[in-house]
Amino acid sequence: MEKKKTEELIEKAFQARENAYAPYSNFKVGAALLTKSGKIYTGSNIENASYGLTCCAERVAIFKAISDGEKNFDTIVIVGGTKDPISPCGACRQVMAEFGDFNVILVSKDKKIKKMTVKDLLPYSFEKENLKE
């Protein structure tokens, strides 16, 4: 991916992080998802007093894209507020794996970058092909 597009995704993820609703943990996360058609969807984490109903930024961005008919993803950028890049939770990894192996860029508050793919994050995911067996 070109450097300019990566920088745009990082900026949009930082902007999305500002919209996080995190009154319980104060741990804000933002995500920016680039589809193969070139559209960008953002997401921020949304907490709930019933913690199990909290939704992570990554899933918000992916669900927004899917609700618009997009299912082919190129790259997702995930930004947390820590000194080192944060990694997606298990639920987010599984949701990401549902839509194939695409690029994942993790970014710290100081813009340290760690690049990988969905398969790097979840090498032995349970996939739709498993349901056919």
pLDDT, one tens digit per residue, over 29-76 is 999 999 999 999 999 999 999 999 999 999 999 999 999 999 999 999
Question: Which positions make up the binding site?
Answer: 45-51, 56, 89, 92
Report the alpha-carbon distance of residue 3 to residue 133 in Å, rounded: 41
Binding residues for Zn(2+): 56, 89, 92
- Does 58 participate in catalysis according to the annotation? yes
Look at residues 95, 85, 94 and name the one whose alpha carbon lies nearest to residue 60: 95
| Distance, C-alpha 34 to centroid of its chain | 10
What pLDDT is recorded for position 131?
87
pLDDT of residue 61: 98
Q: What is the pTM of this model?
A: 0.95
What pLDDT score was predicted for residue 125?
A: 87
Nearest to 46 by CA among 35, 61, 32: 61
Which DSSP state fits 21? B
How much is the pLDDT for 97? 96
Task: Using the predicted structure, report yes or no on whether residue 1 has a pLDDT greater than 80.
Answer: no
* Residues placed in the known binding site for substrate: 45-51
Q: Which distant-in-sequence residues (6+ apart) come within 8 Å of 131 by Cβ?
A: none
How large is the average pLDDT for residues 102-130? Answer: 94
Instruction: Give me the catalytic one of 58, 98, 127, 133.
Output: 58
CATH superfamily of 3-132: Cytidine Deaminase, domain 2 (3.40.140.10)
